[in-house]
Amino acid sequence: MTGRNKAALPTRRHRVFARGQLWLLLAMALLLSACRRKRAVVVLDDWWSVDYARNACAMGALKDEPACLDPKQAVLSYENLVESAFAADPACNGLVLTHFAGPEGTKLAADATARPNGTGWQVMIDFVPGAQGKVGWGVTRIGHAEGVLVQEAGSPRELAQDVCRIARRAGGAVD
C-alpha cells in the first residue's frame, strides 16, 4: 500500500455512491411528479344537452313545427362528431374528453367535477334537433360558476377547436 488509510477508501466510495443515489432519487421524483400531473378534463354535459333538446322539441310541438323523433339520439350523434373532431385536433392533445350523464355519470366526469383547482371544463350544448345553422354552447371551468364563456359554433369541429383552445388556455385571459 502507498500509505493510504484502508478505512478511508470505503468512506470515499460511500460518498460517491450516496451522491449517485441522491441524483437518482431526484431524477425519479421529477419524473414521477411529471407523470402524476393531472390532465385537464373536458366534460360534455349530456344531462344538460339532452334536456335542452327535449325542451326545444316540446316548444316546437307547441308551435306546430315538425316533431322531433329522438332528441337524445340527435344530441349523442352530434356529440360523436364533436368527439371525432376532438380526437383529430392537435390542439386537444393532452386533454381528456368525457361525458356527464347526470347523477349516474362516469367516475372520470364525477372526479373532474370535484376538482377545486379548475383543471376541468364543462361544455353545455344548446342543441335543437332539426335546426339548421349554428349550435349554441357554453363552457366554464368546473367549480367556477362565474365566467361562463358562450360561443356559437358552426360545426362540431369548430366547437372542439374552440373548447380545446380554451381548456389549454391558448387564448387570452378573461377576468
Confidence band for 26, pLDDT divided at 50, 70 and 90: low
Asked if the model's pLDDT at residue 173 lies above 70, the reply is no
The x, y and z cell numbers of residue 82, run together, are 364533436
pLDDT digits (tens, 9 = 90+) for 119-163: 688 898 988 887 766 788 888 888 766 666 767 777 889 999 989
63, 67, 70, 73 alpha-carbon torsion, rounded to 10° = -70
Confidence band for 82, pLDDT divided at 50, 70 and 90: very high
For residues 151 and 175, the model is more confident at 151
pLDDT digits (tens, 9 = 90+) for 39-53: 788 989 988 999 999
The SS3 assignment for 99 reads strand
How much is the average pLDDT of 79-104? 90
Q: Are 72 and 127 in contact (CB under 8 A)?
A: no
